[in-house]
Amino acid sequence: MTWTQYLPPLLKGAQITVTISLASIALGAILAFAAGIARTSSNRILSGIAFVYIVLFRGTPLLVQLFWFYYALPLIGISFDPITTGIMTLSLLTGAFGAEVVRGALLSVPHTQLEAARALNFSKSYTLWHISMPQAVIEMMPAFGNLAIQNLKDTALVSLISIADLTFQAQSMRNITLDSATVYTLTLVGYFIIALCLMLVMRFIEKKLRRGPAFPRSAHS
């Protein structure tokens, strides 16, 4: 087989890889903001739940998490198809790491600004979303960019639960053709191209945010 004959199955696998990665990044970002905000909350129950979630998923291997959701969870009557399992597990892991990024960025907002907000009798929710968050999001972007790339690389493990992603397709073709050099070189190039596109998108978003106003208009303007 020539290298061009490897492209159709690899491209098919790449589509699944991109779908899983983008979906889990989006859901992971939502979880990251929810858990990160909860960790900074004065509500001990919310903060405690977020802490347990973060420690659990940051402290256990992704491969074990995948196997637990795919093989162990069905034993108690809860099961998901492979792609849903992959997206869910990657989302939970990305959210756990992202939550610490969110928490750190929120805590980096100068305390004097929070005191000024209290002096102006702004509510906690208004202070969070209109003063702290706009500044914190800009600081989060480089770390979120790194998490997005890590998420993409982690998708290679979903092939172990029978998802025909890029890695799965590469391994299947390698087993048939024994052409390891060509197959895995094309696979590396495929992941590199996807990662490059992802980096460009994240940097574009970061630049857009940095060009925006540092502070939102006041509620009374």
pLDDT one-digit tens code per residue, 114-151:
888 888 888 888 888 888 888 899 889 999 999 999 99
Domain formed by 3-211, architecture: Orthogonal Bundle (1.10)
71: which 2 tokens? 């093989």
* Per-residue confidence band for 219, with pLDDT thresholds at 50, 70 and 90: very low
Instruction: Say which residue the tokens 């574009």 belong to.
Output: 204
pTM to 2 decimal places: 0.88
8 A C-beta contact, residue 1 and residue 61? no
122: which 2 tokens? 């702004």
Nearest to 144 by CA among 183, 199, 107: 199
Nearest to 153 by CA among 204, 71, 93, 83: 93
- Res. 200: pLDDT tops 50: yes
User: What per-residue string of b and e applies to 131-167 under the rule 16 or more CB within 10 Å gives b?
Assistant: bbbbbbbebbbebbbebbbebbebbbbbbebebbbbb
8 A C-beta contact, residue 49 and residue 116? no
Q: DSSP assignment of 170-210, as one string?
A: HHHHHHHH--HHHHHHHHHHHHHHHHHHHHHHHHHHHHHHH
Q: How far apart are alpha carbons 84 and 127 in whole angstroms?
A: 36
- Res. 3: pLDDT tops 80: no
**Within 10 Å of residue 125's Cβ, how many Cβ atoms?**
8
- Res. 155: pLDDT tops 90: yes
Domain boundaries, the chain: 3-211
Nearest to 187 by CA among 57, 179, 78: 179
- Res. 175: pLDDT tops 80: yes
Q: What is the pLDDT of residues 35-73, one digit of tens each?
A: 999 999 889 999 999 999 999 999 999 999 999 999 999
pLDDT score for 213: 54
> Which one is predicted more confidently, 19 or 130?
19
pLDDT score for 1: 64
